[in-house]
Amino acid sequence: MEQRRLGRTDVHVSALCLGTMTFGEQNSEAEGHAQMDYALEKGINFFDAAELYPIPPNRETQGRTERIIGTWLAKSGNRDKVVVATKIVGRTDMDWFRENGEHGRLTRPQIEFAVDRSLKNLQTDHIDLYQIHWPDRRTSGFGSNPTRWKYVEPAEDENSIDSTLEVLADLVKAGKIRHIGISNESSWGAMRYVTAAERHGLPRIVSIQNAYSLVNRTFETNLAEVAHREDIGLLGYSALAQGYLTGKYRDGALPAGARKTLFNRLQRYEDPRAIQAFDAYVDLAKEAGLDPSQMALAFAMSRSFMTSVILGATRMDQLKTDIAAAELKLSDDVLEKIDALHQEFGNPAP
């Protein structure tokens, strides 16, 4: 498994990262442990979690994912072999993340509380990569990189990026976190983190975790240049468009146990234009003699701004197929055809 440098640090992570948001909902503790065992065996040294997880978020299950990772770390003794990443929620009206029922905000007390609880859940004394899951500010749309701008009124109690970074810097000094990342951020937000670090001598962000797939290449519009010039590598999530690029939902199919079947939360992928694009990419993979999942993942891994592509699988056979994509190098012909389809369909599922 190829190892890639995380930002400007001395940490190297695998080109594929094990996403864990199904642990504690669709996957049991035993299944989560089995996935981590297999991923590590195959060269994946990077696990990504969040205080929010598992998905879908709710009061009863919140924190289970981190706790499952924690029991694996304690049982396996593999803490020194893996880079553990987790996240703190941004601005949210969900009121179950803090003991006093506060809505999620990036204040100093909330950040410190969240870090301490994640450390306890993960059964570790430090978090390798601590990420802001989404901004404290109100944004035009979740993901902070919209294809169409919509004005939103700033919140009166917005916590600045500078103040957030100051708290995180103190946690780095305390040894509780090693490095800082952002997620679902815009180029403006990313550069505000960079300039705040340079102005005040604070830690630089090392990564940005945003959606990236064949049907959502909006990262390339301006964030790709930020990633290159500032050494802020992309940790790409939803590279399979939450399963649509595998072809499993084709013609309205609803496989047993699939996320769409269980939770019906994938409306962002159900635009008629997106459905046409999914079919076209799956057809291209089949014409080229490729597994559609592996083609989509290999494409994401091939991008020069990509540090690691986050995998999400509920079944071991899915995970094995996905990890095998690390050995696939797409031909120039396939890459040209992918770009031609992108020219035709654009980004129908941002």
- Give the distance from CA 116 to its chain's centroid: 21
Told to judge if 53 belongs to the known catalytic residues of this protein, a careful annotator would answer yes
Q: Which of 53, 237, 249, 281 is catalytic?
A: 53
HEC profile of the chain: CCEEECCCCCCEEECEEEECCCECCCECHHHHHHHHHHHHHCCCCEEECCCCCCCCCCCCCCCHHHHHHHHHHHHHCCHHHCEEEEEECCCECCCCCCCCCCCECCCHHHHHHHHHHHHHHHCCCCEEEEEECCCCCCCCCCCCCCCCCCCCCCCCCCCCHHHHHHHHHHHHHCCCEEEEEEECCCHHHHHHHHHHHHHHCCCCEEEEECECECCECHHHCCHHHHHHHHCCEEEEECCCHHHHHHCCCHHHCCCCCCHHHHHCCCHHHCCHHHHHHHHHHHHHHHHCCCCHHHHHHHHHHCCCCEEEEEECCCCHHHHHHHHHHHHCCCCHHHHHHHHHHHHHHCCCCC
Q: Which are the catalytic amino acids?
A: 53
